[in-house]
């Protein structure tokens, strides 16, 4: 029998009625001739509640016990889903991570997959079971302890199972009906895409689109797992949702496929630092050690020159990071300065900026995308603070108050409301 993987997120299994709705969709696929592996998240809000309980019980918790607690939400959902399917006449069995087993590293709270042996689930399919309901987000360390994969880990679990079991497809059921050209809450002109390439989806996910977890897209691209994103709450058929696939499966792509945004960014500038080999490493090494996710980086010649006691060129260094990591970044820079690793005259932090990006594989073969983007923003009097580019994306840092206007402007400028 062909295998299909179906993943249901927290909002899709938020209560018993929604679990029943999801089970109906699973039953429909069984009737179409599939053996189905269902990956479930915890019921909506449950993981946050469990995390809060851990923090209230033990602020400086043991990471192994943290994983034992917060992984339990998925176990409940898996059992309830299996029971509901059984009541509907579908032979189903629930599986916790250790029962598969889902072998991971020992990095509690951020584990990564090592292997997913097929033997146990294949044996159940051979016995006549049609559905394996697997608790997402969790695995088993080499020491035999429960691990978790980090927030959004159930998406990654689904893709990993699709790769391990050579599934025909991996369907990600969520509260939206596909991947849009931009956030529909910002512009009503946002259009649902029929297909999008792995590379474009990876860029959009990393730049702020919340539909798919970045690690899941990386894994899908690596193992060529076809993804389909669709709604749990709509009637669906074979044409529903958005397919995430190889670039070769897309007949012809628009120059720009989507506009992404990240609202809560910060810009940090170190003024008047020594311009010498190794200065970048001296800055970004401590930031990495502090767990700061640096994104955009700009280095330029400083307006100031060293005095006679400090001859040589100087530079300014600007970088961006999530706004909730500013305190860590500031502390890392102050400690690096106190330790003599770097020296700067002033550290300026701007926490009122956002990032807006355009993404498209068509950029590889079309010139003028940057010029068009910058002209569109200029026409709306939106000033650009920092620019970063890659082969298929251009990102700009702007004042946060202009973020929604920038998204709407760029969506219109590149005609993303039109299919062709």
Per-residue pLDDT tens digits for 290-347: 999 999 999 887 665 544 454 558 899 999 999 999 999 999 999 999 999 999 999 9
User: Which pLDDT tens digit goes with each residue over 138-193?
Assistant: 999 999 999 999 878 899 999 999 999 999 999 999 888 889 999 888 999 999 99
Q: How confident is the model at residue 62 (pLDDT cuts 50, 70, 90)?
A: very high
The pLDDT value given to residue 59: 87
C-alpha separations of 413 from 122, 369, 408 in Å: 51, 10, 9
Rounded-to-integer distance, Cα 148 and Cα 141, Å: 10
Instruction: Give the alpha-carbon dihedral of 284, 286, 289, 291, to 10 degrees.
Output: -70
Contacts of 360 (CB under 8 A, 6+ apart): 200, 253, 254, 255, 256, 257, 258, 369, 392, 393
Residues at the binding site are: 7-10, 47, 74, 174-175, 180, 185, 210-211
Average pLDDT (50-75) is 94
The pLDDT value given to residue 258: 92
The pLDDT value given to residue 48: 93
Instruction: Give the alpha-carbon dihedral of 6, 8, 9, 14, to 10 degrees.
Output: 180
Residues at the binding site for substrate are: 47, 74
Average pLDDT (235-263) is 84
The pLDDT value given to residue 420: 65
Task: Tell whether the model's pLDDT for residue 410 goes beyond 80.
Answer: yes
Contacts of 161 (CB under 8 A, 6+ apart): 5, 37, 39, 116, 134, 167, 170
Helix locations, 256-396, DSSP H: 279-289, 326-338, 369-379
Average pLDDT of the chain to the nearest whole number: 91
The pLDDT value given to residue 236: 78
The pLDDT value given to residue 157: 96
Give the SS3 label for residue 285: helix
CA nearest neighbour of 198 among 181, 228, 221: 221
Rounded-to-integer distance, Cα 64 and Cα 87, Å: 35
Q: How many residues does the chain have?
A: 420
Is residue 381 left, alpha or beta, with left meaning phi > 0 and alpha meaning psi from -120 to 50? left
User: Which pLDDT tens digit goes with each residue over 31-53?
Assistant: 999 999 999 999 999 999 999 99
Rounded-to-integer distance, Cα 246 and Cα 334, Å: 45
Torsions phi, psi for 99 (to 5 deg) = -80, -20
Task: Tell whether the model's pLDDT for residue 400 goes beyond 90.
Answer: yes
Residues at the binding site for ATP are: 7-10, 174-175, 180, 185, 210-211
According to DSSP, the residues that pair with 69 across neighbouring strands are: none
The pLDDT value given to residue 206: 76
- By CB atoms closer than 10 A (0-12, 13-18, 19+), residue 343 is middle
Rounded-to-integer distance, Cα 113 and Cα 140, Å: 9
User: Which pLDDT tens digit goes with each residue over 78-117?
Assistant: 999 999 999 999 999 999 999 999 999 999 999 999 999 9
Task: Tell whether the model's pLDDT for residue 252 goes beyond 80.
Answer: no
CA 244, 248, 254, 255 torsion: positive or negative? positive
User: Which pLDDT tens digit goes with each residue over 259-291?
Assistant: 999 999 999 999 999 888 999 999 999 999 999
In the chain, where the domains are located: 3-175
CATH of 3-175 among 3.40.1160.10, 2.30.30.90, 1.10.260.40, 3.20.19.10: 3.40.1160.10
C-alpha separations of 9 from 37, 47, 147, 176 in Å: 14, 12, 19, 11
């Amino acid at each position: 029998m062909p295998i299909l993987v179906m993943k249901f997120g927290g909002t899709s299994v938020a209560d018993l009625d929604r679990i029943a709705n999801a089970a109906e969709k699973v039953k429909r696929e069984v009737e179409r001739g599939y053996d189905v592996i269902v990956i479930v998240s915890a019921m909506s809000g449950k993981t946050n509640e469990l995390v809060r309980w851990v923090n209230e019980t033990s602020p400086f918790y043991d990471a192994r016990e943290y994983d034992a607690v917060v992984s339990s939400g998925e176990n409940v959902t898996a059992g309830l889903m299996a029971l509901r399917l059984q009541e509907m006449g579908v032979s189903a069995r629930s599986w916790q991570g250790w029962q598969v087993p889902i072998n991971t590293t020992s990095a509690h709270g951020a584990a990564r997959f090592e292997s997913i042996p097929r033997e146990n689930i294949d044996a159940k399919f051979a016995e006549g079971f049609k559905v394996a309901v697997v608790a997402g987000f969790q695995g088993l360390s080499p020491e035999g302890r429960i691990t978790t994969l980090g927030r959004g880990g159930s998406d990654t679990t689904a893709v990993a199972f699709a790769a391990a079991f050579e599934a025909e497809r991996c369907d990600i059921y969520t509260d939206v009906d596909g991947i849009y050209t931009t956030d529909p809450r910002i512009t009503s002109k946002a259009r649902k895409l029929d297909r999008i390439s792995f590379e474009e989806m990876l860029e959009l996910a990393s730049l702020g689109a919340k539909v798919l977890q970045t690690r899941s897209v990386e894994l899908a691209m690596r193992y060529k797992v076809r993804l389909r994103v669709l709604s749990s709450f709509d009637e669906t058929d074979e044409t529903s949702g958005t397919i995430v696939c190889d670039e070769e499966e897309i007949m012809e792509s628009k120059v720009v496929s989507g506009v992404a945004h990240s609202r809560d960014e910060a810009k940090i500038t170190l003024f008047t630092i020594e311009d010498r080999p190794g200065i970048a490493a001296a800055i970004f090494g401590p930031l990495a050690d502090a767990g700061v996710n640096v994104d955009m980086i700009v280095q330029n010649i400083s307006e100031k020159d060293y005095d006679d006691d400090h001859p040589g060129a100087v530079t300014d260094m600007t970088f961006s990071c999530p706004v909730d990591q500013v305190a860590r970044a500031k502390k890392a820079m102050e400690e690096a300065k106190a330790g003599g690793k770097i020296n700067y005259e002033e550290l300026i932090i701007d926490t009122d900026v956002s990032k807006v990006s355009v993404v498209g594989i068509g950029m590889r073969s079309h010139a003028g995308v940057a010029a068009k983007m910058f002209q569109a923003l200029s026409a709306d009097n939106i000033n650009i603070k920092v620019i970063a580019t890659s082969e298929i994306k251009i990102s700009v840092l702007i004042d946060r108050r202009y973020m929604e206007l920038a998204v709407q402007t760029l969506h219109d400028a590149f005609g993303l409301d039109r299919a062709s």
